[in-house]
Amino acid sequence: MTEQAMWVPDNVDEEIPSAARLYDYLLGGAHNFAADRALAEKFLAALPSARDVARLNRSFLRRAVVFMAQQGIRQFLDIGSGIPTVGNVHQIAQDADPQARVVYVDYEPVAVAHSELLLRDNDNATVIQANMLEPDAILQDPETRRLLDFDEPIGLIMAGVFHFVPHEADAPAIIAHYRDALVPGSYLVLSHFTADISPDEMAGVIAVMRHSADPIHTRTHAEITELFTGFELVPPGVVGTALWRPERPEQAADEPGGSQIYAGAGRKR
């Protein structure tokens, strides 16, 4: 079987676009289908800065993992990890410490299949297929328990994924379920689409994503900040992705699309 055939599971309907594969396309990846690319072009029409938004979200993730590693975090639970691309969490974390452990979680079959290929020779990283709306299934999964020690701090990552959680699903309660499984000193890293800055553009994005398997539900700055309940926000708090601990602060404010997604990190008290 070719590697390309291995990352396309038999149960995948290539006609139904997914957010994970759309994100892969926006980042310049190759693990997407025609339906994903067609939806991505509509996404770009609604939000012309979408490629920058995706890039800045990925850059935020990298900086956040580096930050957590600098705080001594050596194990990570990356929920909604998506399709692997340049600068994956395990690569960043294991660059800081080769023994760092990472559990990736995604419900999208292509993301999981491609992650399995990437991680087949890495004993300290794994991927499980699960839905983030079912915390116990993730927290109690044998692979999660094999790699992560819940008596030690964990870096919980939800980068660019919680905006797929409907408002009626009670997002704060879901986050609280994960939070309660973590010991003090653990971190939550989260980024989330907002309509605060460009409501008209985001209305277009929401309309486009209704035609995918993953509709988007934006939240306000206050609603996203509420998700960090029980965590002490790391300065500068909840800000646009480009403004969260930028490497070049003098350029951050001018980044196109830098405020379409709010981002933050918090330390459990």
Specify if 233 maps to a domain: yes
Specify if 6 maps to a domain: no
Specify if 21 maps to a domain: no
Report the SS3 class of residue 190: strand
Specify if 61 maps to a domain: yes
Report the SS3 class of residue 164: helix
Domain containing residue 84 = 55-196+215-268
Query: 3-state SS string over 224-260?
Result: HHHCCCCEEECCCCCEEHHHCCCCCHHHHCCCCCCCC
pTM beyond cutoff 0.85: yes
Q: How far apart are CA 259 and CA 240, in angstroms?
A: 4
Cα 181 from chain centroid?
19
Which CATH number do you get for residue 98? 3.40.50.150
Specify if 14 maps to a domain: no
Specify if 232 maps to a domain: yes
| pLDDT tens readout for residues 123-175 | 999 999 999 999 999 999 999 999 999 999 999 999 999 999 999 999 999 99
Specify if 92 maps to a domain: yes
Instruction: Give the H or E element holding residue 188.
Output: strand 187-193
Q: Which residues of 224-236 are buried (b: 16+ CB within 10 A; e: fewer)?
A: bbebbebbeebee
Specify if 234 maps to a domain: yes
Contacts of 129 (CB under 8 A, 6+ apart): 105, 106, 107, 109, 112
8 Å CB contact between 126 and 104: yes
Overall domain count for the chain: 1
Tens of pLDDT along the chain (269 residues) come to: 344 455 565 556 678 888 888 988 999 988 888 999 999 999 999 999 999 999 999 999 999 999 999 999 999 999 999 888 768 999 999 999 999 999 999 998 888 888 888 899 999 999 999 999 999 999 999 999 999 999 999 999 999 999 999 999 999 999 999 999 999 999 999 999 999 999 999 999 999 999 888 999 999 999 999 999 999 999 999 999 999 999 888 777 777 677 899 999 999 99
How is residue 87 annotated by DSSP?
Answer: S
